[in-house]
Amino acid sequence: MKTACLISTGTELLLGTTNDSNSVFLATSLLERGIKVIGKTVVGDSRETIKMAFASALGLADMVISSGGLGPTRDDLTKEVACQVMGCEMAINQAEVKRLEDYFARRQRPMPESNLKQALFPAEAEIIFNPLGTAPGMYLKKDNKVLILLPGPPREMEHMFKNEIEPRLERDFPQAVNRVIRKTIKILGPGESQLEKILDGVIDDSPELSMALLAVDGEIHIKLTADGQDINHSNGLMEKACQSIKEALGRHIVGYDNDTLLSVVAACLANTGKKLAVAESCTGGLLAKMITDLPGSSEYFWGSVTSYSNEAKMLYLNVKQETLEQYGAVSPEAAREMAQGMQKQSGADLALSITGIAGPDGGTKDKPVGLVYICLAAGEFLQVKEMHFVGNRESIRILAAKTALDLLRRYLKNGG
């Protein structure tokens, strides 16, 4: 697999006033073309640090792609320094001078002399047209390395990459994209360290197959990339890896690639024709929002009750006062009665309830922040799950809502 390093230049990126969205876009786009990003550097507008970044990146990877620093000002140093590191002399390109003059003429503005630096290029470089700004990019092959320079504004950079860089990569590296297979397996349940332990030895230690774990809102996404000798070899590697992971983690697998926990649950509900109702306390309606964010949810979602206070739990869900007095609102008993009350009030086939302590206040030694009880009611079937979540208020609520959905998913996947 061909490798790449990314360099983002701009002091504003280091200060945190601007997000480095360019490297995320480039890394994803390159992987789709069978090119693996092995390093990323963010540097300010300093000649020495930019020079060090390019020298290091060119020593590590087959190609280096930078964004930013191609403007006309004194601190736009990327092209000058990169060409110096590559050992390329730059000269004025008259066609680019004419393009710049036309650009300013169309806007009835005089062209500052400083803009002429944007027309400096090595003779061997391919100049990348920028229809959305004044800064052209550059594509240079030399000494078995590829140097790609793109402007910093994401709108300009993305347009140029899709329309100018991708065709050149396909021309120069056609074999890469034709053999690379990628798959994402989404897991809910085990934590990242626990998952690593479970998967230890499951995936063969092979340079042709790579695996990365990514934590996403309580889920762990297993990112697999197979880069075999050809497409058939890659498919074989991927099928074997996926089967091994399925055998190790079957019940924890939410879905693959574009599947989401909600889309999987929605499909199960739609296929069975069952209706769902939910009763929420600590999540404050978040679960209902997640469900109704999906178009067509009225087909299987009856509705919800946000019973934040004890009075609401008693009035709308028939939770007994003695239950609240003896066990408290955050208890398996309260969660059970909330789900039963919700199912009775709605007439739905299934009911989920959530009650807990999202924090940051309200916790005690016996009932700390992060303690959540979730109950699934399905006719005579009742299941209560006790969870201990860690994080801030928002993360605890997200984890509680997702765990409730996952409890329902497992029930439906097991045929009820």
Question: At 114, which CATH number?
Answer: 3.40.980.10
Specify which residues 387 forms β-bridges with.
372
Shared-domain flag, residues 250 and 282: no
* Measured distance CA(252)–CA(140) in Å, rounded: 47
Closest CA to 51 of 20, 87, 26: 87
Shared-domain flag, residues 147 and 87: yes
pLDDT for 217 = 87
Shared-domain flag, residues 156 and 11: yes
pTM for this predicted structure: 0.73
Kind and range of the H or E run holding 280: strand 276-280
pLDDT for 177 = 62
Shared-domain flag, residues 200 and 348: no
What DSSP string runs through 161-214?
A: IIIIIHHHHHHH-HHHHTTEEEEEEEE-SS-HHHHHHHHTTTS--BTTEEEEEE
Phi first, then psi, for residue 246 (nearest 5°) are: -65, -40
Shared-domain flag, residues 101 and 121: yes
pLDDT for 200 = 87
Shared-domain flag, residues 224 and 274: no
* Measured distance CA(69)–CA(78) in Å, rounded: 5
Residue ranges in the chain modelled with pLDDT below 70: 175-178, 205
416 HSE (CA, 13 A, CB side): 13
Looking at the structure of the chain, the number of domains it has is: 3
pLDDT for 364 = 94
**Which residue, 256, 288, 314, sits at the end of a domain?**
256
Shared-domain flag, residues 137 and 225: no
Closest CA to 5 of 23, 18, 22: 23
pLDDT for 176 = 62
Shared-domain flag, residues 203 and 288: no
Closest CA to 264 of 291, 284, 244: 291
Closest CA to 80 of 8, 149, 141, 165: 149
**Which residue, 256, 280, 315, sits at the end of a domain?**
256
**Which residue, 256, 286, 316, sits at the end of a domain?**
256
The counts of H helices and E strands in the chain are: 16, 17
pLDDT for 188 = 95
DSSP β-ladder status, 301-306 and 219-227: unpaired
* Measured distance CA(76)–CA(99) in Å, rounded: 20
Shared-domain flag, residues 303 and 341: yes
The interaxial angle of helices 47-60 and 78-86, nearest 10 deg, is 50
Sheet with 126-128: strands ordered across:
35-43, 2-9, 63-67, 145-150, 137-142, 126-128
Tell me, what CATH number does 252's domain have?
3.30.70.2860
Specify which residues 253 forms β-bridges with.
187
Shared-domain flag, residues 219 and 245: yes
Shared-domain flag, residues 279 and 394: yes
pLDDT for 398 = 95
Shared-domain flag, residues 143 and 204: no
pLDDT for 229 = 84
* Measured distance CA(157)–CA(164) in Å, rounded: 10
Its domain, for residue 70, covers 2-177
